[in-house]
Chain A
Amino acid sequence: MFGLNKSSLFSDTKKLEREIDGFVDILSEVGLVFKSIVPTYLNHSANGKFEEMVEKVKEMESKADKITKEVEHTLYEETLIPDARSDVLRLLEHMDELIGMYQGNCYHFSIQKPNFPKEFHHDLIELTETVVNCVEALCLTVRSFFRDIKTVRDNAHKVTFYEKESDIKFSSLARRIFDSEMPLDQKMHLRYFVEKIDRICDQAEDIADEVQIYAIKRSV
């Protein structure tokens, strides 16, 4: 009636809610896959399981891209959440970049095949776990932004905590790499990988900061 179709409004809303939740699920799942990809690479880089996991990340990235486009389309087509539309879209784009960073790391491992000596395995796995925990905390922050803005700050604080942890682990690992007896080209190569993994945390922290601002804007 009067151009406001209620059933369509509410069904569009539910569909979008599911899509956005699904998008955050993908980010979280990609992280979990990435967490096992690094040890898999370090221990059995030659067998097919690693490539299988890289392929899985690629599929999830494509799915996330598709969702971003669909959400963008529906938000503008149905003029939903006019006051927060641009914030939500920017948030999804930045989270998509995060998925892209995971995927990029996987590709680099797959193509460049860095040679990490055994003495660095534990530290690298720990760094990866901290990075994934950081992104997990970001997923919680984003979910809070959509449903419970009161808890955004608490969750964003966890992101900052893990980002600092990751910085410490990155510095320690990089220092150990450069203190080792490896040739400089290998040191530089390994540092590149360690730095690239740590950068995921920086991006997650930037997004968490963004979400906190959006939450202030969203407050009634």
Chain B
Amino acid sequence: MDISIIIFLLGGLFLGWSLGANDAANVFGTAVGTRMVRFKTAAIVCSIFVILGAIISGSGTTETLGKLGAINALPGAFAACVAAGLSVYLMTKAGLPVSTTQAIVGAIVGWNLYTGSDTNIRVLITILGTWVLCPVIAGVIAMGFFTITKNYLLRRKLHILRLDAYTRTALLLAGAFGAYSLGANNIANVMGVFVPISPFTDISISSFFVFSSKEQLFLLGGLAIAVGVFTYSKKVMFTVGNDLLKMSPVAAFIVVISHSIVLFLFASQGISNFLQSINLPSIPLVPVSSSQAVVGAVIGIGLLKGGKEVQWSVAGRITIGWFTLPVIAALISMILLFILSNIFNLTVSF
């Protein structure tokens, strides 16, 4: 493989690493931060299920990003990834809860604008719509789960210690599901732009099993996420667990499961097909922000408790992020594409 290909892929791997470092905290942060689950356990489960989710269910969201703009040259994909990574870094520094999802969409639109390619407006509107829907659905699901769980627990009268044991197991299972959903939904952000120009070839193992080039890319992206989980997420998990979400372990479980369901809904080809088969509107398969799903779930629970604990400023900052991050990512993407094509004489599109 050409060394340049590896360098270009590094852009995506960097994005994967940062996704693992930050978003794993949404899945296991409360469990680890409150010491309900050990970091090592969380990191192993998270890594395995992120990789499985990426390989098994990562195609749907990748296709949607491909429809938005099919980047057809490796330097172009590299620029998009670096632009997304940089913009996330800048916005995080500014204290805004942003996501790689919004950044990569902005970066792809930036590539479209720079290269004169068409942006599929319908797909763009669908994606923007899901960003708004994501925290709202997470909030509604969390409210439903919270009510059911609270009533169930009041009726079951479980001993505090028994409840603790069940909650630990539930947090681990919900975390595994969350990690799977994160891999399935967000692998498109990390490796999506490389799919049309994958440097890998399909590998056939006997006549039954074909490990496609796309799956190889997703495995690579999944591994990058896993490295992010192991190397950097511990600190973020403790921050999430101790500072941001002061809630009971049961409420933490509800947040994680609601977040996981939302990510899974927006990544599951199966559910989308099923809804279509019974003449219901299908769910668009779009990469959504796991951080915003978590915030949506927390706000949902806060509203059920009377709304006093809801931090509306955080909700406001999320809304700002919906607009500013894609714009900044698009601008950085265009600047990088200009530099790559004019200074380094690289082909950024065909």
- A interface with B by C-beta (< 8 Å): 2-4, 6, 9-10, 13-14, 16-17, 20, 79-84, 88, 145-148, 150, 218-220
Interchain CB contact (< 8 A) of A83 among B34, B149, B162? B34
Residue contact A2 to B35, C-beta cutoff 8 Å: no
Residue contact A3 to B38, C-beta cutoff 8 Å: yes
Chain B hits for A20, CB < 8 A: 161
Chain A hits for B317, CB < 8 A: none
Within 8 A of A (CB), among B163-183: 164-165, 168-169, 172
Chain A hits for B249, CB < 8 A: 82-83
Which residue of B has the minimal Cβ distance to A4? B41
A117 to B146 Cα, complex, angstroms: 62
Residue contact A2 to B159, C-beta cutoff 8 Å: no
Interchain CB contact (< 8 A) of A80 among B44, B164, B248? B164
Which residue of B has the minimal Cβ distance to A71? B161
Chain B hits for A2, CB < 8 A: 40-41, 44-45, 172
**A152: shortest Cβ distance to chain B, in Å?**
12
- Beyond A147-B158, A220-B150, is A3–B40 a contact (Cβ under 8 Å)? yes
A156 to B221 Cα, complex, angstroms: 56
Chain B hits for A83, CB < 8 A: 34, 248-249
A2 to B164 Cα, complex, angstroms: 18
Q: Give the number of residues in B that approach A within 8 Å (Cβ atoms).
A: 29
Residue contact A17 to B150, C-beta cutoff 8 Å: no
Pick 9 A–B contacts, CB within 8 A, sort by A: A2-B40, A3-B41, A20-B161, A147-B160, A218-B160, A219-B248, A220-B149, A220-B150, A220-B153
Known A2-B40, A80-B164, A82-B249; further 10 A-B contacts with Cβ < 8 A: A2-B41, A4-B37, A9-B168, A16-B161, A83-B249, A148-B154, A218-B160, A219-B248, A220-B146, A220-B251
A44 to B249 Cα, complex, angstroms: 55
Residue contact B162 to A13, C-beta cutoff 8 Å: yes
**A77: shortest Cβ distance to chain B, in Å?**
13
A82 to B168 Cα, complex, angstroms: 11
Residue contact A13 to B41, C-beta cutoff 8 Å: no
Interchain CB contact (< 8 A) of A81 among B44, B45, B161? B161
Residue contact B248 to A218, C-beta cutoff 8 Å: yes
Is B283 interfacial (CB 8 A cutoff)?
no
**A63: shortest Cβ distance to chain B, in Å?**
20
- Beyond A220-B149, A220-B150, A220-B250, is A17–B161 a contact (Cβ under 8 Å)? yes
A147 to B158 Cα, complex, angstroms: 5
Residue contact A17 to B159, C-beta cutoff 8 Å: yes
Residue contact A13 to B38, C-beta cutoff 8 Å: no
A219 to B38 Cα, complex, angstroms: 24
Which residue of A has the minimal Cβ distance to B301? A220
A6 to B166 Cα, complex, angstroms: 10
A219 to B250 Cα, complex, angstroms: 10
Residue contact B165 to A146, C-beta cutoff 8 Å: no
Is B157 interfacial (CB 8 A cutoff)?
yes
Chain B hits for A17, CB < 8 A: 159, 161-162
Is B340 interfacial (CB 8 A cutoff)?
no
Residue contact A88 to B168, C-beta cutoff 8 Å: no
Chain B hits for A79, CB < 8 A: 35
In the A-B complex, list the 8 residue pairs whose CB atoms are closest, starting with the nearest. A2-B41, A148-B157, A82-B35, A13-B165, A81-B164, A13-B161, A3-B41, A220-B250
**A187: shortest Cβ distance to chain B, in Å?**
47
- Beyond A4-B41, A9-B165, A220-B250, is A146–B159 a contact (Cβ under 8 Å)? yes
